[in-house]
Structure 1
Amino acid sequence: MTKPSSYFTVTMVICLIYSMSKWISSYSELWSSIGIPPIVALLLER
């Protein structure tokens, strides 16, 4: 028996992974054209 909140959490995680994979794929294209790794860019922003 699963709670609605746990089902909502699983759905959010799946959506997050899906959006992150799309973001990483689009960001990797920018990174390859610019030449700066996305991780370094994220660390510099912090």
Structure 2
Amino acid sequence: MTKSSNYSIANMVICLIYLMSKWISIYSELLPSIGALPIAASLLGR
């Protein structure tokens, strides 16, 4: 029982890391277009 639960936990962790890496890559691609807006807004707000 513990082996299967450990395997499922490891599987979940691997899935989470994979999803996070995908999200990070997508975010880093969109960052120049999206990230510039809040920065410009905060600079103009001051």
Relative to the length of structure 2, the TM-score reads 0.62
Tell me the percent identity.
69
Matched residue type, 2:14: I
Larger CA Rg, structure 1 vs 2? 2
4+ runs deviating over 4 angstroms: none
5 Å-filtered alignment, 1:1-46, equals 3-36=3-36
| Higher-helix-fraction structure | 2
Aligned-residue Cα RMSD (Å) equals: 1.5
Structure 1 stretches of 5 or more lacking a match? 37-46
Structure 2 stretches of 5 or more lacking a match? 37-46
